[in-house]
Amino acid sequence: MKDNIYIKALEIGYEHSITGISFNEIVSELGIEENLSNEMFKFCFMTWFYSNFYNIKAERNLVENPHGAFIHNGVINTLEGCKNEKSFIKGESINKYIEYVELRDTRKSSRTAKRFSIASICIAIVAIFIPILLTQFKTESPKQVIVTENRDKIDDAQILERLTKIDSTINSTITKLSLIADKKVEVPVKKQAKVKSVKH
């Protein structure tokens, strides 16, 4: 949003606070010559200008009241002769302009900080979701794990079955050996032939 003519006039007056500036010079820099053809606008702007810029001749025509300084309608024609004379921005008006500039800069800084804050939040959100998105594009490792678990279960069953068979075979062998031992089978021994001695 562009500054209105009153803020711009204060800025120009602030820049010329040492050298001063005339009413006509302010009007020329603002480019509002055509607007002054409106008598009501001319009266309001001239009243505002000489309330915020000091001119020794115009100051005599200011009247103080509880609402601030203003110019009587009857003295407007008298002030026409002051329009080309240098006027100087008043101290109170300088303070108003400085307050405005500080407020404007604060708002700009606030908007900039808000943008950075939003950007930081967006980056944080993206950082949170990146790992989740990456896991969606990985190989189907969960399915492989499930298959592996099924294979493990099958292998365990086969191993248990084999161990059971081995245990059964061992028990059967032990039983047979026990039966043989209980029968006390005698092993026949061959008699050796007696050899007669020959007398010489």
Q: What is the pLDDT of residue 72?
A: 61
DSSP element (H, E) containing 45: helix 39-52
Element (H, E) at 68: none
E-only strand ranges, the chain: 21-22, 53-54, 62-63, 70-71, 86-89
Cα 3-37-59 angle, rounded to 5 deg: 70
Domain positions in the chain: 5-98, 140-177
Q: 36, 23 in Cβ contact below 8 A?
A: no
- The pLDDT value recorded for residue 187 is 46
Confidence band for 89, pLDDT divided at 50, 70 and 90: very high
What confidence score (pLDDT) does residue 1 get?
A: 44
Tell whether the model's pLDDT for residue 151 goes beyond 90: no
How far apart (Å, rounded) are the C-alpha atoms in residues 112 and 106? 10
User: Among 77, 18, 15, 90, which residue's Cα sits nearest to residue 50?
Assistant: 90
The token pair at 79 is 């002030």
pLDDT of 141 > 60? The answer is no
Q: What's the pTM?
A: 0.51
Q: Which of 12-16, 50-54, 72-76, 123-127 has the lowest mean pLDDT?
A: 72-76
pLDDT in tens, 35-87: 988 988 988 898 899 889 998 888 877 665 445 556 666 667 777 888 899 99
How far is the C-alpha of 48 from the C-alpha of 26, rounded, in Å? Answer: 12
Q: Which residues are within 8 A (CB) of 88 and not within 5 positions of it... i.e. 6 or more apart?
A: 13, 17, 20, 53, 54, 55
